[in-house]
Each structure stands twice: as C-alpha cells, then as structure tokens.
C-alpha cells in the first residue's frame, strides 16, 4: 500500500509543486495538502486539502490520525527577509512546527519526516566558494539561526530516538507556478516576471552578488529521491548540501537578454544585500551525489527557457 503523505505548507513556493509531483507519483488521495490558507487553483483542484496551522500541535496531530499519515513534509516557514522583520514570529513558526513533527515521529505516529534547511545556515565566517558539507557555521540572520538550530534538532532526534528525518539545504529556488515570498533569492524569480511584463527590472541585490540557485524541478526531484533512498544511504541526518547553479544578477539578466534583447536591469540594493553577502556563492554537494545519487538537470539556459515559457502560460503575459 502506498504511504499516506501530509504536506504542511502545501500552498507555498515549494509546497505547491511538491504536492503536485507527489500526487502524480503516488495517487492524489494519498497526498493530503494543508496550509493556513488556500492555494492556487491547480493545487486546490488536485486532491484533498485541509486548513491547518503548523504551530498548532493538536491540529497537525489530528490530521496525522485522521488520515493515517506515514510521512510528513514540513514546508511551512518564514523566509530570510521577512524573518529579519519579525524575529520572534519566525523563530516560533520555524522551530515550533519542527518540534511538533519531530515529536509526532518520536511518538511513533509518523514514520518519516522531510524538513527543508537552507544555504542560510552558513555565515560570513564560512568558506564562501565550494562550501563543504561540514564547515564553520555562524549564521547571522534570524532565518539562518532557526535553520541551523533545526538541523541540530533533526540530527539529535535521529541519534537519540531513531527518528527517520531527512533534509536538504536548498539554495535559492526558481519557479513559476507559485511565487516565493519574503526571501533574499526572490529577485531571481521576480526578474523573469518583470522581464515579460515591463521589459525592465530593478534588482535589490548588487550586480556581482553570486548565490547558489536551482530550478524547482531539480529541487523537487532531489527531495523525492532523498525521501525514497534506503535509510542506510542517508548518512547525513542534519541536512545535505545541494547544488546546481551559481549566478549573479548580471549573469541572469544576460541569459534573459538572449530571449528578450531589449530587457534592461538596474540595481538598488537594500537590506537584503547584507543577508546575501553573508551566504556562500557556491556549494560542494559531493556527499548528496555519492550517498543517494543526486544529479541536477537544469543549467541557466535551460532554466531560463522554461521560466519564460512557464510564466507566459500561467500568467498569460
Ligand atoms: N531562498 C531562501 C531565502 O532567500 C533561502 O533559503 O530566504
């Protein structure tokens, strides 16, 4: 019998596509989507949906019992830029929801957990290029601190209580089905929308700010393949480095200009520049590649074609 899956935060940027991909794979009734608000039409019409607050243990626990859930993907979180403005709320959401799910697993109510971490776990004292899996981690953002603490708790619950928790340090994720919200890497999504709508974009990061990035299809494939890997192959129980592309706003603008030659970019860095400056510019993900066979498929050119086509289709621009 197929596993019953609960996705918490199913209406967000990752949650939407993860829900759709898992429903395709294991059948729509085996994937219960939940969020504090309804999602887009495609998500809502694709299978069961429940309103639930990730910070409410009883609401999440009730869904787990009601639907006889085996696996939880906890995608609800406050991202880096918003978390700087609402530090306590970010901590409560990012940590509270994780404890609820880890405790449900510890109590034997669920079998497997996926929890997303981020390149934000790294900080200014981390080696910036080809950042290794194991290295100095002194995050300077509220979001990064919550993700780093979360990683430690995941590993602790695995070692102490045998919880089967798996995690990826996502780079900036680029997609067209659902917009990201409140992140530092969001410019790399906004730029495509503005290129099609107005032919110009003002970047909130400087032209030479290089960050690790990935197209959503690759991120979803990585997530599902990590969750499907035999337990003994998942050697890292904090969170895996994962890498595909690294680029700057200027390089991305260039790739867009190959499709839209008149596209213009300008720069007006804001508070998000300091966040980006504290993060790595490239990531060494050799452990993910060795342990569970990760390979990325999308380069900058392929991603740019998909993004422009996808946005035209979804938003009719
Ligand atoms: N994309 C996220 C952010 O910018 C990083 O995990 O906050």
Split the chain (317 residues) into runs of 10 and give each run's mean pLDDT: 92 97 98 97 97 98 98 98 98 98 98 98 98 98 98 98 98 95 96 97 98 98 98 98 98 98 98 98 98 98 98 88
User: Which residue, judged by its Cα, is nearest atom 3 of ligand 1?
Assistant: 183
41 is a domain residue: yes
pLDDT reported for residue 237 = 98
Can you read off the two tokens belonging to residue 224? Answer: 């599902």
Q: What's the pLDDT score for residue 146?
A: 98
Provide the pLDDT for residue 49: 98
| Confidence (pLDDT) at 317 | 79
pLDDT at 315: 82
Please give the distance of CA 115 from its chain centroid, rounded to a whole number: 9
| Shared domain check, 222 and 206 | no
CATH code: domain of residue 53: 3.40.50.720
For residue 117, report the distance from its CA to the centre of ligand 1, in Å: 9
Question: Which are the catalytic amino acids?
Answer: 143
Indicate whether 192 and 219 sit together in one domain.
no
> What is the distance of C-alpha 212 from the center of its chain?
13
CB-ligand 1 contact for 223 (6 Å cutoff): no
Q: Specify the CATH number for the domain of residue 187.
A: 3.90.25.10
Ligand 1 centroid–CA 189 distance in Å is 12
- Closest to 283 measured CA to CA, from 270, 293, 296, 272: 296
Q: What Cα–Cα distance (Å) separates residue 53 from each residue in 7, 8, 307?
A: 12, 8, 31
Query: Which residue segment(s) compose the domain that 134 sits in?
Result: 5-172+215-241
Does residue 307 lie in a domain region? yes
Integer Cα distance of 159 and 153 in angstroms: 10
Ligand 1 pocket check for 171: Cβ under 6 Å: no
Position 288 in a domain: no
Please indicate, yes or no, whether residues 32 and 141 belong to a single structural domain of this protein: yes
The dihedral sign for the CA sequence 207, 117, 152, 284: negative
Task: Return the structure tokens found at 31.
Answer: 């994937």
When divided into structural domains, the chain yields a total of 2
Looking at the structure, tell me whether residues 195 and 149 fall in a common domain: no
Ligand 1 atom at shortest distance from the alpha carbon of 185 = 4
Q: How many helices (H) and strands (E) does the chain have?
A: 12, 12
For residues 89 and 191, membership in a common domain is answered with no
Structure tokens given for 28? 């729509």
Atom of ligand 1 nearest to the CA of 118: 6
Same domain, 123 and 167: yes
pLDDT number for residue 90: 98
User: How many residues appear in the chain?
Assistant: 317
The 10s digit of each residue's pLDDT in 27-81 is 999 999 999 999 999 999 999 999 999 999 999 999 999 999 999 999 999 999 9
Ligand 1 in contact with 170 (CB < 6 A)? yes
Residues 180 and 267 in one domain: yes
Q: Could you count the other beta carbons within 10 Å of the beta carbon of residue 136?
A: 12
Residues 33 and 105 in one domain: yes
197: three-class secondary structure by DSSP: helix
CA-proximal residue: ligand 1, atom 6 (nearest): 118
Is residue 293, in this structure, part of any structural domain at all? Answer: no
Judgement on whether residues 228 and 208 belong to the same structural domain of the protein: no
Could you tell me if residue 292 is inside a domain?
no
Q: Are residues 197 and 148 in the same domain?
A: no
**pLDDT given at position 316:** 84
118: Cβ below 6 Å to ligand 1? Answer: yes
Shared domain for 223 and 99, answered yes or no, is yes
Best substitution site from 183, 278, 283 to test ligand 1's pocket, by max atoms within 8 Å of Cβ?
A: 183
Separation between Cα atoms, residue 317 and residue 314, nearest integer Å: 8
Question: How far, in Å, from the CA of 146 to the mean position of ligand 1?
Answer: 12
- Ligand 1 pocket check for 281: Cβ under 6 Å: no
> Strand pairing of 71-74 and 5-8?
parallel
Residues 307 and 207 in one domain: yes
């Amino acid at each position: 019998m197929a596993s019953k899956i609960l996705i918490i935060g199913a209406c967000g940027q990752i949650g939407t596509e993860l829900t759709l991909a898992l429903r395709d794979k294991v059948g729509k009734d085996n994937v219960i989507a939940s969020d504090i608000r309804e999602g887009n039409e495609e998500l809502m019409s694709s299978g069961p949906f429940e309103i639930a607050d990730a910070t409410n243990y009883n609401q999440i626990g009730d869904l787990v019992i009601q639907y006889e859930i085996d696996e939880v993907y906890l995608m609800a979180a406050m991202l880096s830029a918003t978390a700087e403005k609402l530090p306590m709320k970010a901590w409560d959401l990012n940590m509270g929801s994780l404890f609820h799910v880890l405790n449900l697993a510890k109590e034997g109510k669920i079998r497997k957990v996926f929890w997303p971490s981020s390149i934000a776990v790294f900080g200014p004292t981390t080696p910036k290029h080809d950042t290794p899996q194991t290295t100095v981690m002194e995050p300077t953002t509220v979001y990064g601190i919550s993700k780093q603490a979360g990683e430690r708790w995941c590993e602790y619950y695995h070692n102490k209580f045998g919880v089967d928790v798996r995690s990826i340090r996502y780079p900036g994720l680029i997609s067209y089905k659902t917009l990201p919200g409140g992140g530092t890497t969001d410019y790399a999504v906004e730029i495509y929308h503005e290129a099609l709508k107005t032919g110009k974009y003002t970047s909130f990061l400087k032209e030479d700010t290089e960050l690790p990035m990935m197209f959503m299809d690759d991120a979803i494939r990585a997530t599902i393949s990590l969750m499907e890997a035999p337990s003994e192959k998942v050697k890292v129980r904090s969170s895996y480095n994962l890498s595909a592309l690294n680029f700057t706003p200027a390089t991305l603008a260039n790739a867009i200009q190959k499709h839209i030659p008149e596209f213009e970019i300008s720069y007006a860095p804001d508070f998000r520049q300091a966040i980006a400056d504290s993060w790595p510019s490239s990531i060494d993900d050799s452990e993910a590649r060795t342990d569970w066979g990760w390979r990325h498929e999308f380069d900058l050119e392929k991603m740019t074609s998909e993004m422009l086509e996808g946005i035209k289709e979804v938003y009719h621009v």
